[in-house]
Structure 1
């Protein structure tokens, strides 16, 4: 009798199929999956999390791999490097329209979106279960959560259109609450 949990086999297959679909989109643009992951992350993160260090932490790659990926993506016109106006030591990575287009095309793959749509009402229960699994793994590996801002303990709604971040002491628009944040702390 096997001691492997069937769920691990299912998750492994989903991850492999996901990776293969992402790889196929990358071939079209001469990009590797890690490059697409950088683009996708930058398309989903907030202004506090669009730095090379945040990309490195999110992807769990080396500084060298991240630096090479950023250099390649910039040379191919997928992103621009911009110095922070308040702290010239900080570089922000800003997607170009081309970068945004590729990020939205590559991740999540269409086959995953279609599969999730087939779940119908069951998708919310699955989301909650997978989020519990993710949080458990992040805690066990001491990884940052990189969660959506509106789920952070520092997120404080002010009105229908804005919220206040108690960590950065900034008022931000509601759209920013839907983005990933490096500083995210679970409530």
Structure 2
């Protein structure tokens, strides 16, 4: 029996509910859903991924939409640009305290938090299955994984406090490993 259509229907309904709730949250702050997606991504990404190019790639939007979104978020005081100290051509996008507050309060929406918490121990199994689905879709689309740093093949634990990134040749603090990385390469 083909289970694709019922699973797709469930995922479609979940994403519709999610989009509707995000839209309503955005209205409260004078933002569109894409603006909240930018804020949330910036709240979860590392220093290699907080650029306009990474936002464009992660969200799958045009450079124009990214540029307009960044301008609006800057105007509203949710983000600011910071020049890279090594490569002055690169701008990093940094959340202000107001931007951090929206990310923490609004995304994921409260109903999703409650729904996932109500699953209890089943949430671990769901997470594993959704990760597998995500990897398969990313592979099919040939899209970057944007995974957590700690799951990358270049991540090498050094101590309880630090790890080494073999790609960037940097020693980083452990918390950095919990962030989304544009350079992420799935460990085999």
TM-score normalised according to structure 1 size:
0.97
Residue 39 of structure 2: aligned partner: 39
RMSD, aligned α-carbons? 1.1
How many angstroms apart in 1 are the aligned matches of 2:156 and 2:4? 43
Residue 75 of structure 1: aligned partner: 75
Which stretch shows the higher mean deviation, 101-110 or 66-75?
101-110
Q: Could you tell me how far 1:55 is from its partner in structure 2?
A: 0.2
How many angstroms apart in 1 are the aligned matches of 2:182 and 2:59? 12
Q: Runs (4+) of structure 1 moved beyond 3 Å?
A: none
SS in 2 for 1:172: strand
Written as runs of structure 1 = structure 2, the 5 A alignment for 1:1-187 is 5-187=5-187
User: Is contact 1:163–1:173 with CA below 8 Å preserved after alignment?
Assistant: yes
- How many residue pairs get aligned? The number is 186
Where structure 1 has 5 or more consecutive residues not aligned to the other structure, the ranges are none
SS in 2 for 1:14: helix
Where structure 2 has 5 or more consecutive residues not aligned to the other structure, the ranges are none
Alpha carbons of structure 1 residues 4 and 125: separation in structure 2 relative to 1, 3 Å: closer
SS in 1 for 2:92: strand
How many angstroms apart in 1 are the aligned matches of 2:133 and 2:106? 24
SS in 2 for 1:181: coil
How many angstroms apart in 1 are the aligned matches of 2:23 and 2:172? 35
Cα deviations by residue, 1:108-152 (Å, 9 ceiling, x for unpaired): 111011001111111111100000000000000011000010000
Q: Could you tell me how far 1:104 is from its partner in structure 2?
A: 1.5
